[in-house]
Amino acid sequence: MQSRTIFWMIFTLVILLLVLAAALLSLTTGEASISLADIIPVLKEKEGMEYFILTEIRMPRIILAFAVGGALSLSGAILQGIFRNPLVEPYTLGISGGAAFGVALTIVTGMHFTIGMFMLPLSGFFGAMATILLVSLLGFLRGGTDIHKMLLIGVMISFVASSSMMFLMSVTTAENLHGIIFWIMGSLDEPNRLLIRITLFSSLAGLAISYLFARPLNALLLGEDKAGHLGINSRHTIRILFLVASLLTGICVSVAGVIGFVGLVIPHLIRLIAGSDYRFLLIGSFLGGSFFLILSDVIARTIISPNELPIGVITGMAGGVLFIIVLNKFRNRKQHGG
Amino acid sequence: MVADYLKIDKLCCGYGRSFNLKDVSVSLKQGVFAGIIGPNGSGKTTLFKGISGVLKAKSGKILLQNVDLGKLKLGEKARRVAVVSQFPDAADITVEDYVLLGRLPYRQSFQFFESARDRVIARKYMQLTGVFRHAKKLMSQLSGGEQQLAAIAQALTQEPELLLMDEPTSHLDITHQVQILNLIQRLNRETNLTVLMIIHDLNLAAEYCDFLIMMNNGDVHTMGAPLDVLNYKNIEDVYNTVVVTQNNPLSGKPAIFLVSEKVLKEVQERYKRSE
């Protein structure tokens, strides 16, 4: 077997263990501390306060963090590949802006009282879908796939959406304003089991589908024309992957709000450590994102306990600092012939 | 030998209304080493992009052994035709991975990793082109000439029957120019690989190609053997430049000499005085 394949397998195993460790840490820490040894007895008991905390509060959060972190990071890796631009992340294309606008509109018009708790995620999802539809329609118009045009359109839509949202925020009541800001900052506090299941299922499905395109993505690294000469239908590949990545982002944003930085930083970190071969990058990014978000969530809910920080604060700060450190280390090593 | 291995039939393609080929027709025999020459803006690259499929044909067609290239599946096409572009790919992937991408057209569905056979073939062509010692280096760490050699290794790894190259020797020193063209010539002779390349350097074109297509204003000006195409009349007509041609003493192929304005005037004056 290739030495690189072995390295990939070991690396995958290590991140998997890290994910598991983070999950256990998340299970045991919180307002009510439950020790590692107690977890299994408590789960066997199937009743009591601690059982409720584990299964109803902490586990759903871990699963959601796993799914959202993985999906956002995966989307980032995919989009950076098809746009051949390292600065693209899931929110660059205005998907988060569209979702946030949808939610803001719902809150301002008071519609979220009508259908109940599904209304906010649903309106976020509709906002995200409207954005994706707009970007695809304008970008894929007349049979072309001008990815640079698509990128610019996405950025512009993002501006329009956030300005519209700010307009709504400036004319609405303080109470609504609070609701909007709270939603935008993002949270993994999602009580609905169905939504968590949908998110988990779609993120895993997204990983499976995009993995089928791992080798075409490697070829796209050389540009659309070259990929075409290697027998890859570039347009087809880009369209499918664009839809996968934006659907995943749309789902994540509507369930958990705008959790920034995961989709930008994690794929880069994995690339720095293990190279840009998509056969590993896709899996590595997914698991890396999961690990990062589960850990960030633990920090977010313990650092100013009993209160909870918005998780976006942690991901942004920790992600940014971590990235600068790693970048410096690796760049230095490269320069010294490492 | 089939008479019309590659048959370009009244091909028109181009960029919107600004520039289009004027229904170009060309026929190539199998195993030929052909070159496309012509001044900047004459349609060399447009013709090349039309054949490689980057530009869609607006009318006319390209037949490879009587099969319409435009209707061939991309994977099937990539197993028969390989393309080396003008600018080498300086991506952040290792030379080995880069060359292995040439096996993509042969992958089965759900095949995520290269087979042992794929690796053997890639290794063979890396050794042949001399980039094997750089196998673990990044493409971006190679020099321009080495990147071009790696690009050729990748194209050969596709095991094509037709190799299209867009100025494979531009911006290279003469060592690399001759190294690359000798390699292509050898493959052309030994494996019956048909080669069609754009080449700017008329002397290299004359020395290596056995069939030349001279383009001018989006149309074929002349085509045929180098001796028939590269005479001073054709060159002065197409390039608007005064040249002197003579034959290479060793190969007998035409060699083209440029004449500077100063020398040209001196010659003209001498000519007048003698009259």
- Interface with chain A: mutation pick from B77, B93, B94, B152, highest number of A CBs within 10 Å: B93
Convert the pLDDT of each residue in B40-70 to its tens digit.
989 999 999 999 988 988 999 899 998 999 8
Q: Looking at residues B88-112, what average pLDDT do you find?
A: 88
- Interface with chain A: mutation pick from B76, B101, B141, B163, highest number of A CBs within 10 Å: B101
Task: Kindly give the parts of chain A with pLDDT less than 50.
Answer: 335-338
Q: What does the pLDDT read at residue B4?
A: 83
Return the DSSP state at B94. Answer: B
Q: What does the pLDDT read at residue A53?
A: 87
Chain B interface includes A19 (CB < 8 A): no
C-alpha A141/C-alpha A174 separation (Å) is 42
Chain A interface includes B255 (CB < 8 A): no
Chain A interface includes B54 (CB < 8 A): yes
Within A141-261, residue ranges assigned H as helices are: 147-171, 174-185, 193-212, 214-220, 224-229, 234-256
Q: Which CATH number fits domain B6-274: 3.40.309.10, 3.50.50.60, 3.40.50.300, 3.30.43.10?
A: 3.40.50.300
**CA A298, A300, A302 angle in degrees (round to 5)?**
65
Q: Given an 8 Å threshold on Cβ–Cβ distance, is A279 in contact with B54?
A: no
Q: Given an 8 Å threshold on Cβ–Cβ distance, is B104 in contact with A219?
A: yes
Q: What does the pLDDT read at residue A186?
A: 82
Q: Which phi and psi (to 5°) does residue B26 adopt?
A: -140, 145
Residues from chain B contacting residue A236 (CB–CB below 8 Å)? none
Q: Given an 8 Å threshold on Cβ–Cβ distance, is B97 in contact with A231?
A: no
In chain A, where the domains are located? 3-335
Q: How many CB pairs under 8 A join A and B?
A: 60
C-alpha B267/C-alpha A38 separation (Å) is 103
Chain A interface includes B156 (CB < 8 A): no
| Token pair recorded at residue B267 | 């010659």
C-alpha B69/C-alpha B137 separation (Å) is 35
The Cα of A266 is separated from the nearest Cα of chain B by a number of Å equal to 18
- Chain mean position to CA B45: 10
Provide the pLDDT confidence category of residue B16 given band limits of 50, 70 and 90.
confident
C-alpha A250/C-alpha A199 separation (Å) is 10
Q: Given an 8 Å threshold on Cβ–Cβ distance, is A228 in contact with B74?
A: yes
Q: What does the pLDDT read at residue A52?
A: 87
C-alpha B245/C-alpha B233 separation (Å) is 10
Q: Which CATH number fits domain A3-335: 3.20.20.100, 1.10.3470.10, 3.30.9.10, 2.160.10.10?
A: 1.10.3470.10
Closest residue by Cα to residue B160 from B183, B118, B191, B127 = B191
C-alpha B228/C-alpha B225 separation (Å) is 5
Provide the pLDDT confidence category of residue B1 given band limits of 50, 70 and 90.
very low
Closest residue by Cα to residue B28 from B162, B185, B191, B218 = B162
- Interface with chain A: mutation pick from B69, B77, B96, B97, highest number of A CBs within 10 Å: B97
Q: What does the pLDDT read at residue A338?
A: 34
Q: Given an 8 Å threshold on Cβ–Cβ distance, is A223 in contact with B54?
A: no
Q: Given an 8 Å threshold on Cβ–Cβ distance, is A215 in contact with B78?
A: no
Q: What does the pLDDT read at residue B2?
A: 47
Q: Looking at residues B33-44, what average pLDDT do you find?
A: 94
What does the H/E/C string look like for B141-165?
HCCHHHHHHHHHHHHHHCCCCEEEE
pLDDT above 60: residue B235? yes
Chain B interface includes A228 (CB < 8 A): yes
Q: Given an 8 Å threshold on Cβ–Cβ distance, is A228 in contact with B53?
A: yes
Convert the pLDDT of each residue in A235-274 to its tens digit.
889 989 999 999 999 999 989 988 988 999 999 999 988 8
Q: Given an 8 Å threshold on Cβ–Cβ distance, is A231 in contact with B113?
A: no
Convert the pLDDT of each residue in B180-200 to its tens digit.
999 999 999 999 899 999 999
Q: What does the pLDDT read at residue A318?
A: 85
C-alpha B91/C-alpha B107 separation (Å) is 22
Q: Given an 8 Å threshold on Cβ–Cβ distance, is B92 in contact with A276?
A: yes
The Cα of A201 is separated from the nearest Cα of chain B by a number of Å equal to 21
| Token pair recorded at residue A129 | 């879908």
Question: Which of B52, B92, B112 faces A229 most closely, judged by CB atoms?
Answer: B52
Q: What does the pLDDT read at residue A148?
A: 81
The Cα of B214 is separated from the nearest Cα of chain A by a number of Å equal to 25
Residues from chain A contacting residue B102 (CB–CB below 8 Å)? 230
